[in-house]
Structure 1
Amino acid sequence: MPRGDFVMGDSSGDRNHADGEVPLHEVRISRFSIDATPVTNADFERFVADTGYRTEAELFGFSAVFHLAVQADDEDVMGKVPGTPWWLGVRGADWRRPGGPRSDLDELGEHPVVHVSWNDAVAYCAWAGRRLPTEAEWEYASRGGLVRKKYPWGDEEVDEHGWRANIWQGEFPSRNTLEDGWLTTAPVRSFVPNGYGLWQTVGNVWEWCADRFDPNYYRLSPDVDPPGPSRGSGRVLRGGSYLCHSSYCNRYRNSARSSNTPDSSMGNAGFRTVASAI
């Protein structure tokens, strides 16, 4: 990515107020490199083969799976996640078995790896000699050089002139019409890359960032390479996922923010890596 300035935050008015997408503020970003795609299952498999690493989902023995994607026997389904009943805790769900014990990675090598926690992502980065992007780096890259635009391609909606991202279609969470072709993840090089050559920064899978999460951070954020707050238990997630829909989660936008605890894993979150320019 070239060194540059951009306006960070929600310019379209679609913000989720509790997420802290404002105030708008200008940020200067130093040069860095970023993966064109999220880390794939094939990428992660090479890491595991080289290191023997076990993810936190494997160590805990379960992970969160969207209810329509479960591939498991009844006794392996632990129950609904409080407040989000479309998520089920499933024993044996992990990066190798994204739907549960009856699933596998056949034909999913070029799909983004999921069921990886923030801690797992950091371990992969250490092996690869890279790191997670800061939240500011991620948004700068996602915007693809466009100024104050809602999406990586501009302000047109996802389904205008053909599908542009992998999100939910139909009635969430019970019926997906599959108009974009995917119930869960899509291959990382689906749809069209942005102006910087990045694929699917919005939709498909949430992407872990390095920063701790604080909805009030933008009020205090430095204007050059902001590193994120020094305190906080959650870690930032960016970009939305295949479960986002305007009726439920409109976070498939450049400025949208979310968070989770660093040991959490789920079937719609992955990551991409960066490196500082020398």
Structure 2
Amino acid sequence: MWKKLISNPVILTGLFGCILATGGCAGQPAPQANQSIVAGDTAALQQMVLIPGGTFRMGADDSTGMPDELPGHTVQVDSFWMDTHEVTNREFAAFVAATGYITTAEKPISKEELMQSLPPGSPEPDSSMLAPGALVFSPPDHAVPFDDVSQWWRFVAGASWQHPEGPHSNIDSLANHPVTQVSWMDAQAFAQWAGKRLPTEAEWEYAARGGLREQVYPWGNEALTAGKAKANTWNGNFPYRNTTTDGFYGTAPVGSYSPNGYQLYDMSGNVWEWCADWYDANTYLRDEKGVTNPAGPGKGFDPDDPGQPKRVIRGGSFMCSDEYCRGYRVSARMKTTPESGLANLGFRCVRSVAQRRQ
């Protein structure tokens, strides 16, 4: 049954439709735990670095960019603090221990919520489709069409941040790896507890560029494959053969590669990162005259899947390669529904300069 749903182009356009992101799809609820989220003992959290404000050219101006990265436009951002690396399993565990928070992937979905996400006339789901779980990367052993993501993703009941590949897995040896299988609401809840927030898309791209002007990657224009490994990406033939030339098959411990000019790690590859903004494919067309501290559109619009509003994700992941994704370019944009929990999606936080630094 899930295979049919994963193969449905209406549901799985772009990255993933709401149906694949257990925990509810009816509306976009505010982040909430099973108890009040209050600023707690954040001593286990990482240090932040100051990103000096400035003006930059956001997006792409040439053939290196996708349509939703065009046109390049001038954006100004104020200074802000940013996590040096993606939020780790250790940090997320501290949040859960302090608050008792239950993530989206750990909650069952109701039949009513599921039906709202399906095309009209779809049959009612059986009970197996309502169990908590998330999408797990399950690569084939042969070449497959890139337009059928069901060839390398499958829904696994019991998959969650603590069991990223399903009930048989755990994070015992992954304390310093980025937390995954967390929804946008989960990331928001963590940020609220930590006294931080998610970055705007503009802040994220500005920080990823590391002070460089109109370069393709956080390290400049040198090809990803030139010289020593620069990021955790897919090496070989996606999705069936990974040579692990960069040292890792899946996620890597944060900080495994050289930082960019702002001393930020993994702004390219490892896991995609949630941003605060709604995704709108046409945002840059409206912003080309330049804006200051843009917070993104008021609602989401994905022309490939207009019935499912999505949030922006940035930075690419260990599954990106030149032949498939290229999401590790600093201007690359991707999107998925706020409820989505994925094996290659995490987040990092920021804090406005006006806020008290921990």
**TM-score class normalised by the smaller sequence:** over 0.9
Q: Residue 150 of structure 1 corresponds to which residue in structure 2?
A: 216
Matched-pair contact (CA < 8 Å) for 1:33–1:275: yes
Q: Residue 226 of structure 2 corresponds to which residue in structure 1?
A: 160
Q: Which residue, 2, 9, 14 being the options, matches 2:59?
A: 9
Q: Which residue, 270, 273, 293 being the options, matches 1:225?
A: 293
Question: How much has 1:68 moved relative to structure 2?
Answer: 4.2
Aligned to 2:153, the other structure's residue is in SS state strand
Q: Residue 65 of structure 1 corresponds to which residue in structure 2?
A: 136
Q: Which residue, 281, 306, 323 being the options, matches 1:215?
A: 281
Mark the runs of 5 or more structure 2 residues left unpaired by the alignment: 1-50, 109-131, 141-146, 301-308
Aligned to 2:91, the other structure's residue is in SS state helix
Please list the CA deviations of residues 128-186 of structure 1 after superposition, one character each: whole Å capped at 9, or x if unmatched. Answer: 11100000000000000000000000011112111100000111111111111111100
Q: Residue 331 of structure 2 corresponds to which residue in structure 1?
A: 255
| Residues 1:241 and 2:317 aligned together | yes
TM-score, normalised by the number of residues in structure 1: 0.93
> How far apart in 1 are the matches of 2:326 and 2:150?
16
Identity among equivalent pairs (%): 49
> How far apart in 1 are the matches of 2:204 and 2:261?
14
> How far apart in 1 are the matches of 2:196 and 2:100?
19
Question: How much has 1:15 moved relative to structure 2?
Answer: 1.8
Please list the CA deviations of residues 90-122 of structure 1 after superposition, one character each: whole Å capped at 9, or x if unmatched. Answer: 111110111111111122100000000001000
TM-score, normalised by the number of residues in structure 2: 0.72
Letter matched to residue 124 of structure 1 = F
Q: How does 1:110-189 map to 2 (within 5 A)?
A: 110-189=176-255
Aligned to 1:265, the other structure's residue is in SS state coil
Question: How much has 1:258 moved relative to structure 2?
Answer: 0.4
> How far apart in 1 are the matches of 2:222 and 2:61?
14
Letter matched to residue 241 of structure 1 = S
> How far apart in 2 are the matches of 1:134 and 1:24?
17
> How far apart in 2 are the matches of 1:248 and 1:94?
26
Matched-pair contact (CA < 8 Å) for 2:139–2:153: no
**Higher alpha-carbon Rg:** 2
> How far apart in 2 are the matches of 1:182 and 1:228?
34
What number of residue pairs does the alignment pair up?
A: 265
| Residues 1:97 and 2:163 aligned together | yes
Letter matched to residue 13 of structure 1 = S
Between Structure 1 and Structure 2, the one with more strand by share is 1
Letter matched to residue 183 of structure 2 = S
Aligned to 1:141, the other structure's residue is in SS state helix
Matched-pair contact (CA < 8 Å) for 2:139–2:151: no
Letter matched to residue 198 of structure 2 = L
Q: How does 1:7-46 map to 2 (within 5 A)?
A: 7-11=57-61, 13-17=63-67, 20-46=68-94
Mark the runs of 5 or more structure 1 residues left unpaired by the alignment: 70-80
> How far apart in 2 are the matches of 1:83 and 1:36?
32
